[in-house]
Amino acid sequence: MSDVLTPLTIDLLAWLAPAPRPYAEVMEAWRTSCPRLPVWEDALDAGLVARRRRPGAPPTVELTAAGAAYLAAHRR
């Protein structure tokens, strides 16, 4: 993960830390078409966040154990 994206990644992880959020809400807030700011994609690829599908509920996004550790190590 690039040093440029680290602050944005920390913001994403901190935003998700309190509780899982609906996937649609995450996409509305964090998806970008800018190839220089792939925060969501990088966090997902690095295993810092995960998409979850539970029967009868909309998909959610939550912090993984690796994401919580990354956040703890990099939080200001």
Contact 4, 37 (CB under 8 A): no
Residue 40 has pLDDT above 80, yes or no: yes
Per-residue pLDDT, 56: 94
pLDDT beyond 70 at 46: yes
Q: How far is CA 7 from its chain centroid?
A: 12
Quickly state the pLDDT bin for 30 (edges 50, 70, 90): confident
Tell me: pLDDT of 4 over 60: no
Report CA-CA distances (Å) from 36 to 20, 26, 59.
Answer: 26, 19, 27
Mean pLDDT of 46-64: 94
Strands (DSSP E) found in 1-76: 21-22, 49-52, 60-63
pTM given for the model? 0.83
Q: Which domains does the chain have, with CATH numbers?
A: 6-74 (1.10.10.10)
